[in-house]
Chains A and B, each alone.
Chain A
Amino acid sequence: MNNQWLAFFQGVVVVKVQGQGAERFINRLSRSRVPVWQVSRQGEQTISFSCSLKHIHEVRKAARAFEGDVRFYRGEGFPFLLKRLLKSSGFVIGAVGFLVIILLLSNVVWRINIGGASPKMEHEIRKELSRMGVEKGKFILGLDDPETVQKKLLNRVEGLTWIGVEVKGSTFHFRVVEKTEPKEKKQKGPRHLVAAKDAVIVKLFVKKGQAAVKRNQFVHKGQLLVSGLIGTEEKQTKIAADGEVLGETWYKTTVEMPVTTDFHVLTGRQVQKHLLEMKTLRVPVWGFKNHSFANHKKDEQVHSVSFLGIKLPVNYVEKTYYESEQTSRSYTEKEAELHALKAAREDLQAKLSEKAVISGEKVLQRQFTNGKVKLSVHFQVLENIAVGKPITQGDKKNARRKKHNEYSARKPE
């Protein structure tokens, strides 16, 4: 028996036979092995039946010998459906195009919301974002993922404490927490200036108050530098001492520097691959070439594809292979020492305040062991050693005494 589904795919023709002896026509067909079905009488002289499209030639041949009228009334099945579809291909193209456009537009940045930021900060963030490519009308797929955007923003925008990045459909939401830097407290209360650390005074610049030390004098930590008590002994007034006391301080650091170091560097050559990921299935879309790098670093970025704000179970993956090279750097002992010294200097500079200047250095000890240079260095630094210390009632007498005998008064503490 013929399969109805097979017939559907091959195509079915409905034939109408009109004339005397239509039965003979059907007999002839069945004798020439043409399967015929749904034979029914339509009228006095008309019989209609269906047959497969692939037997249409036999039907035609039989029709030539038949004296009546044979008409192919209607076509059914897949080939005819296809034909009709092609005829109205505009609709199909339109429908597909519509889906494609919606899909593309769903993955475009439409809005960037920044909340919790001052106008200045918002401008700053927007500027940085557009530098990173996060702008209205850009494809989300081509952008960094939210975590990277967050990291980059935190690194590049000054004054950000935290920023929350969220991609909701086609909108970027940013929640900003700004650093609220405390305004420098106006020291209103009366105070002295005392030494923050042991030092030799190099320069005194007193704005307010009375200097209690001289140049080239050695001071201990906590020693009074500028007194906030002015006036005569009998009629003293308390003020907030202000000024700068540059002192020479000392730091001793030890540094180690290996003579030879191995590290990986990127050569700049890279191969990119684009894939579509569905659950565990990954279909490469672009970049079929395999990399031929001996050493490489792999970077993988996964973007999710959304349709009308709904996440599709499809991810767009960008894989980049960077070629890397192992190089080794080796110094001579002399060079290693220089680099170690430089590293020590930078290390110290990072610890000191901005205004501090390293005025001198001296290598105390140098050792070469196990392929390493070990240095212990003594640095002389010029920095402001004055820090404020409020004058309390009880201090008043002490302060007066200190003026005459600064060092001994402080020492027992």
Chain B
Amino acid sequence: MAKKWGEQMKGWLTKSMNLPEDVMMDLPRITMIGQLHIYIENHRGLLAFSDKEVRLLLAKGQLLIKGQAFTIKTILPEEILIEGKIEKLVYLEG
């Protein structure tokens, strides 16, 4: 109960004080450049990687990226840059 209450508090604070959500609520910030690049900040690790599919762990749930000819350009603890042809982006609720 306490956790949920805390999160509600955070949500309210962000809304009322106009703060960026990704910082306050531990959400991923995703930047895409057309279909070519996808840049995800605030992920929690790589779950699966192949040239057609990348699965990333998020703070809440998972992110599934589908496409073709994926390569990871850079991977850092909280950032990842994937190159290839991105076709789908799916949030899997955890």
- Which chain B residue shows the least CB distance to A38? B71
Tell whether A47 is near chain B: CB-to-CB under 8 Å: yes
* New A-B contacts (7) at CB < 8 Å, excluding given A23-B46, A40-B70, A41-B50: A27-B45, A30-B76, A31-B77, A35-B76, A36-B74, A38-B71, A39-B75
Main secondary structure of the interface of B (DSSP, over half): strand
| Candidate in A27, A31, A36, A49 with the most chain B CB atoms within 10 angstroms | A27
- Whether A23 and B47, one on each chain, are in contact in the complex, defined by CB atoms closer than 8 angstroms, is yes
Chain A residues contacting B47 (CB-CB under 8 Å) are 23
Assembled-state Cα–Cα distance A23/B47 (Å): 6
Q: Chain A's nearest CB lies how many Å from the CB of B72?
A: 3
In this complex, how many residues of chain B approach chain A with their Cβ under 8 Å: the count is 15
Chain B residues contacting A350 (CB-CB under 8 Å) are none
Assembled-state Cα–Cα distance A49/B45 (Å): 16
Listed from nearest, the 10 A-B pairs whose CB atoms lie closest are A39-B72, A40-B71, A27-B45, A23-B46, A30-B75, A41-B50, A41-B51, A23-B49, A37-B74, A36-B75
User: 0/1 per residue, A20-64, Cβ < 8 Å to B?
Assistant: 001110110111010111111100000101000000000000000
- Whether A37 and B72, one on each chain, are in contact in the complex, defined by CB atoms closer than 8 angstroms, is yes
Tell whether B2 is near chain A: CB-to-CB under 8 Å: no
Assembled-state Cα–Cα distance A406/B65 (Å): 138
- Which chain B residue shows the least CB distance to A32? B77
Chain B residues contacting A26 (CB-CB under 8 Å) are 46, 49, 72, 75
Tell whether B73 is near chain A: CB-to-CB under 8 Å: yes
In this complex, how many residues of chain A approach chain B with their Cβ under 8 Å: the count is 20
- B11-64 residues with Cβ-Cβ distance < 8 A to A are 45-51
- Whether B48 and A23, one on each chain, are in contact in the complex, defined by CB atoms closer than 8 angstroms, is yes
Chain B residues contacting A27 (CB-CB under 8 Å) are 45-46
- Whether B71 and A39, one on each chain, are in contact in the complex, defined by CB atoms closer than 8 angstroms, is yes
User: 0/1 per residue, A318-357, Cβ < 8 Å to B?
Assistant: 0000000000000000000000000000000000000000
- Which chain B residue shows the least CB distance to A27? B45
Tell whether A93 is near chain B: CB-to-CB under 8 Å: no
User: 0/1 per residue, A242-273, Cβ < 8 Å to B?
Assistant: 00000000000000000000000000000000
Tell whether A65 is near chain B: CB-to-CB under 8 Å: no
Q: Chain B's nearest CB lies how many Å from the CB of A42?
A: 9
Tell whether A281 is near chain B: CB-to-CB under 8 Å: no
- Which chain B residue shows the least CB distance to A47? B49
Chain A residues contacting B48 (CB-CB under 8 Å) are 23
- Which chain A residue shows the least CB distance to B72? A39
Tell whether A294 is near chain B: CB-to-CB under 8 Å: no
Chain B residues contacting A24 (CB-CB under 8 Å) are 46
Tell whether A310 is near chain B: CB-to-CB under 8 Å: no
Chain B residues contacting A1 (CB-CB under 8 Å) are 74
Enumerate 6 A-B pairs (CB-CB under 8 Å) in ascending A order.
A22-B49, A23-B49, A26-B46, A33-B76, A36-B75, A38-B72
